[in-house]
Each structure stands twice: as C-alpha cells, then as structure tokens.
C-alpha cells in the first residue's frame, strides 16, 4: 500500500502510514499522536510506530503528543519521501508503476 499524504495525519490515521509499504508526504503535512493529551495511551499507534521509527524517537513522539513536520517524519523513517504538493501524485504514480512491473509472471 502506498500512502499519498496531502495534509495532517493524526492519531489512528498514523496506522495507515505505519502499515503502508511506501509513504510519500507533501512538505506541509504534519503528524501527531494527540491521544496522550487526552489521557489515553496510544497502544495501537505505538506498535505501528516502532516498526518504522527508532524506538526512542517513537516514544518521545507519542509521549509528548506534539506535531512533527513532514521533514522530521522523513528523518525518523515514518515517511519515505517529502515532495512539493505539485509533485505528490506524480511521485506516487511513479512508485506504483515501478512496483507493478515486478508482478509475478511479468517479463
């Protein structure tokens, strides 16, 4: 699954990003796990984050509940690439086309 991230990603939506094989975000996108600010520990999000982010960054991210930028998300491994919004669909389509050529039986 390829995530085409056009804007803010909060709470449970982070699971879509962490469970995707590729995540491409626009520069304006932000990511947050605000559950902690409401007294809820984000167990599901935490499990997904630890598959893609270093544990220390992941814990800090969910324990503070603050937003991170798309560039920080890329640095932490949450997204594969950050692009200008005009290039988002083009980049996602490029990856999809590349992956589709790897289908079984394709020569």
Query: 43-52 and 55-64 are packed helices; what angle lies between their axes, rounded to 10 degrees?
Result: 150
Helix (H) or strand (E) holding 20: none
CATH number at residue 51: 3.90.226.10
Helix (H) or strand (E) holding 100: helix 88-100
Token pair of 14 as six digits: 């982070």
Q: What is the pTM of this model?
A: 0.88
Domain coverage including residue 45? 2-88
Any domain includes 71: yes
What's the domain count of the chain?
Answer: 1
Give yes or no for a contact between 31 and 9, defined as CB atoms under 8 angstroms apart: yes
Any domain includes 8: yes
Sign of CA dihedral 66, 67, 73, 78: positive
Any domain includes 15: yes
pLDDT reported for residue 105: 67
Any domain includes 98: no
Per-residue pLDDT of the chain (107 residues; tens, 9 = 90+): 999 999 999 998 999 999 999 999 999 999 999 999 999 999 989 999 999 999 999 999 999 999 999 999 999 999 999 999 999 999 999 999 999 888 676 55
Any domain includes 17: yes
Any domain includes 64: yes
Any domain includes 28: yes
């Amino acid at each position: 699954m390829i995530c085409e991230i056009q804007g803010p990603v909060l709470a449970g939506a982070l699971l879509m990003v962490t469970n995707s094989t590729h995540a491409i975000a626009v520069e304006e996108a932000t990511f947050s796990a605000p559950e902690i600010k409401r007294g809820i520990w984000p167990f599901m999000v935490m499990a997904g984050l630890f598959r893609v982010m270093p544990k220390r960054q992941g814990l800090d991210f969910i324990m503070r509940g603050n937003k991170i930028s798309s560039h920080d998300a890329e640095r932490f491994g949450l997204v594969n690439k950050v692009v200008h919004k005009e290039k988002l669909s083009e980049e996602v389509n490029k990856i999809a086309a590349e992956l589709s050529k790897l289908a079984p039986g394709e020569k």
